């Protein structure tokens, strides 16, 4: 289905380009939307100042290429794209783009604007040979609700423009606590980015989760409880697909754990319990010169800068628990930081819908162009946009998901929960939609999908189901049918059938209801 939608949208852009062949300004805009269909999905990382955006971005990429200090570069929109060759390009507000030097200090990429001030920069583009960037372009944005109104406006104008689609297809929004400003921004992103689709395409991240419990080793458990409470919050559910707790600093450092750091952490883990607990009781105590500790205060300060006290405590516990290999320790630290859950969410909710999300943004963009530059022929194109939006099942699923998260669905609560899952509210992969194990065999997938299809068809045909409920059922039935179409055929690619003798279930032309089939007449039914 997604391929058909992408093709229809691509053809629409071409038709619009033909219509505006004499208008170079509109043509440039249409060419931008056409390129967007071919490019990787754009995911912006946003949040208030010091929410940990750049740190999280580094964790996702797996390298420290986003600046995490408070320099001028953190006030600039920065795009991170895949390229075989490292390259940094500055696009000024006025003038031509120019290349910046690629400089790494202690493994970290340094972005140096030189004499250029942040307000003179439209964007930075970092092309980098990172595997994670092959299928996704990440956009680091300045802090929302900054003390500098100008800095805040760069993010809001980019992510929630008034008269155009957002340049981001989806957003990862970081928050330390849920504030009114967070909700207001997410509501604006939903309304502006989605346009006529009225969908939800944001993930909320409870960032710096390790600080919730003052760095205790159980801090993330407390953070998960808070995230669960936020997930159930009706207001946040209406603007975000989920809430993930994250210890961003730990995730970033775990992805780039160095052998020297592993050795130092292992040495600290071998201290006696009393001595170890005294050393890790506070930040000040940890970096203080201490007799009998074979790791210097300078090295300990560097560990603190990279992992935080929470990460050091957790690493020490894991090392004592048997994670005595640097690679194993790094993987476990990343998993416990919340990074694995975040990457999984990005995969099942954003990347799995990439073609559809780009098509949606392109439709909104073309519609904006048609409204701003009306001429003979635009009405037909507008009708085509409306037809694609109303008929494409992927768009109908997102609109229904938005309704489920806001007003609710006009069906029983337990059915509403199932409907949300079947239309992709928890992810669009087949096992996730059907609520079965990821490695479930085809026979189980088929059985579960068929049962769901029959259940929702029965509900749709029930006299007790009103019109609104029937419309919900229609969309869910279509999703079940699509799920069945994705399930691989039986082994050998041949369908099994069984021969059923007896009366036809309904009368055909020229027959009386209940007539027996004549000699040689039989009914073939697929073996489900």
The model's confidence at residue 160, banded by pLDDT at 50, 70 and 90, is confident
Q: Residue 104: what pLDDT?
A: 85
Q: Kindly tell me if the per-residue pLDDT of 490 is higher than 70.
A: no
377 Cβ contact partners less than 8 Å away, ≥ 6 residues apart: 19
Strand partners, 69: none
Q: Residue 146: what pLDDT?
A: 59
Quote the percentage of the chain above a pLDDT of 90: 53
Residue 114 or 288, more confident: 288
The model's confidence at residue 187, banded by pLDDT at 50, 70 and 90, is confident
Q: Residue 208: what pLDDT?
A: 83
For 188-197, 467-476, 479-488, which range has the lowest pLDDT when averaged over its residues? 188-197
pLDDT in tens, 66-82: 887 656 677 889 999 99
Q: Residue 334: what pLDDT?
A: 94
Give CA–CA dist 309/311, Å, rounded: 5
Q: What is the mean pLDDT of residues 223-238?
A: 85
| Residue 506: count of CB within 10 angstroms of its CB | 7
For 202-211, 354-363, 499-508, which range has the lowest pLDDT when averaged over its residues? 499-508
Query: In what helix (H) or strand (E) does residue 175 lie, and over which residues does it extend?
Result: strand 170-175
Q: Residue 51: what pLDDT?
A: 86
Give CA–CA dist 64/104, Å, rounded: 10
Q: Kindly tell me if the per-residue pLDDT of 354 is higher than 60.
A: yes
Q: Residue 174: what pLDDT?
A: 93
Residue 337 or 179, more confident: 337
Q: What is the mean pLDDT of residues 116-132?
A: 91
Q: Residue 520: what pLDDT?
A: 40
Q: Kindly tell me if the per-residue pLDDT of 504 is higher than 50.
A: no
pLDDT in tens, 364-373: 889 989 999 9
Q: What is the mean pLDDT of residues 26-37?
A: 92
Q: Residue 192: what pLDDT?
A: 56
Strand partners, 43: 138, 170
158: nearest Cα among 141, 137, 171: 141
Q: What is the mean pLDDT of residues 21-41?
A: 93
Cα-based angle 437, 440, 444 (whole degrees, multiple of 5)? 115
The answer to whether 445 touches 480, Cβ cutoff 8 Å, is: no
CATH class, 39-247+339-355 region: alpha beta
The model's confidence at residue 246, banded by pLDDT at 50, 70 and 90, is very high
Q: Kindly tell me if the per-residue pLDDT of 477 is higher than 70.
A: yes
Cα-based angle 144, 146, 151 (whole degrees, multiple of 5)? 80
Q: Residue 130: what pLDDT?
A: 93
* Domain residue extents for the chain: 39-247+339-355, 256-337, 377-491
pLDDT in tens, 32-65: 999 999 999 999 999 988 888 999 999 999 988 9
Q: Whole-number mean pLDDT of the chain? A: 85
Q: Kindly tell me if the per-residue pLDDT of 133 is higher than 90.
A: yes
The model's confidence at residue 509, banded by pLDDT at 50, 70 and 90, is very low
The model's confidence at residue 502, banded by pLDDT at 50, 70 and 90, is very low
The model's confidence at residue 515, banded by pLDDT at 50, 70 and 90, is very low
Q: Residue 381: what pLDDT?
A: 94
Residue 32 or 521, more confident: 32
Cα-based angle 501, 507, 509 (whole degrees, multiple of 5)? 120
How many alpha carbons lie under 13 Å from residue 279 in its C-beta half-sphere? 27
The model's confidence at residue 405, banded by pLDDT at 50, 70 and 90, is confident
Q: Residue 522: what pLDDT?
A: 38
Residue 291 or 519, more confident: 291
For 47-61, 140-154, 283-297, which range has the lowest pLDDT when averaged over its residues? 140-154
The model's confidence at residue 215, banded by pLDDT at 50, 70 and 90, is low
Q: Provide the Cα torsion 275, 277, 280, 281; round to 10°.
A: -120
Quote the percentage of the chain above a pLDDT of 70: 88
Residue 304 or 490, more confident: 304
The answer to whether 50 touches 143, Cβ cutoff 8 Å, is: yes
């Amino acid at each position: 289905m997604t391929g058909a939608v992408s093709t229809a949208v691509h053809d629409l852009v071409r038709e619009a380009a033909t219509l505006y062949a004499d208008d170079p300004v509109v043509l440039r805009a249409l060419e931008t939307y056409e390129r967007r269909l071919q490019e990787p999905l754009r995911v912006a990382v946003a949040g208030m100042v010091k929410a940990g955006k750049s740190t999280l971005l580094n964790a996702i990429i797996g390298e420290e290429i986003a600046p995490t200090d408070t320099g001028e570069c953190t006030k600039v929109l920065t795009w991170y794209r895949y390229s075989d060759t490292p390259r940094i390009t500055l696009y000024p507000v006025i003038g031509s783009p120019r290349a910046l030097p690629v400089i790494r200090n202690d493994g970290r990429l340094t972005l140096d604007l030189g004499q250029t001030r942040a307000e003179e920069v439209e964007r930075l583009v970092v092309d980098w040979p990172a595997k994670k960037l092959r299928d996704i372009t990440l956009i680091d944005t300045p802090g929302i609700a900054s003390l500098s109104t100008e800095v805040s406006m760069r993010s809001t104008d980019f992510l929630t423009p008034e008269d155009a689609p957002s340049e981001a297809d989806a957003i990862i929004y970081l928050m330390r606590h849920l504030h009114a400003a967070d909700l207001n921004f997410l509501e604006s992103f939903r309304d502006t980015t989605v346009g006529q689709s009225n969908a939800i395409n944001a993930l909320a991240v409870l960032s710096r989760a390790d600080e919730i419990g003052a760095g205790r080793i159980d801090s993330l458990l407390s953070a998960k409880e808070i995230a669960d409470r936020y997930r159930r919050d009706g207001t946040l559910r209406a603007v975000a697909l989920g809430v993930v707790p994250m210890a961003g600093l730990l995730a970033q450092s775990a992805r780039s754990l160095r052998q020297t750091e592993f050795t130092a952490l292992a040495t600290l883990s071998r201290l006696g319990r009393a001595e170890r607990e005294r050393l890790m009781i506070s930040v000040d105590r940890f970096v203080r010169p201490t007799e009998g500790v074979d790791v210097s205060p300078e090295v300990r300060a560097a560990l603190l800068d990279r992992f935080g006290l929470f990460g050091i405590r957790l690493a020490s516990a894991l090392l004592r628990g048997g994670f005595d290999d640097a690679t194993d320790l790094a993987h476990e630290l990343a998993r416990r930081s919340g990074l694995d859950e975040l990457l999984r969410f990005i995969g099942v909710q954003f990347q799995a819908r990439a073609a559809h999300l780009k098509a949606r943004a392109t439709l909104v963009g073309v519609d904006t162009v048609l409204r701003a530059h009306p001429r003979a022929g635009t009405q037909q194109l507008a009708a085509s946009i409306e037809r694609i939006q109303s008929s494409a099942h992927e768009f109908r699923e997102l609109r229904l998901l938005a309704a489920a998260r806001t007003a609710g669905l006009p069906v029983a609560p337990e059915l509403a929960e199932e409907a949300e899952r079947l239309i992709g509210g928890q992810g669009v992969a087949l096992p996730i939609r059907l609520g079965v194990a990821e490695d479930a065999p085809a026979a189980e997938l088929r059985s579960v999908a068929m049962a769901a299809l029959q259940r929702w068809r029965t509900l749709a045909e029930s006299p007790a189901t009103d019109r609104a409920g029937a419309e919900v059922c229609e969309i869910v039935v279509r999703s079940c049918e699509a799920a069945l179409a994705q399930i691989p055929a039986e082994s050998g690619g041949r369908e099994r059938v069984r021969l059923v003798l007896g009366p036809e279930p309904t009368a055909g032309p020229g027959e009386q209801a209940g007539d027996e089939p004549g000699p040689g007449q039989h009914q073939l039914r697929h073996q489900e």
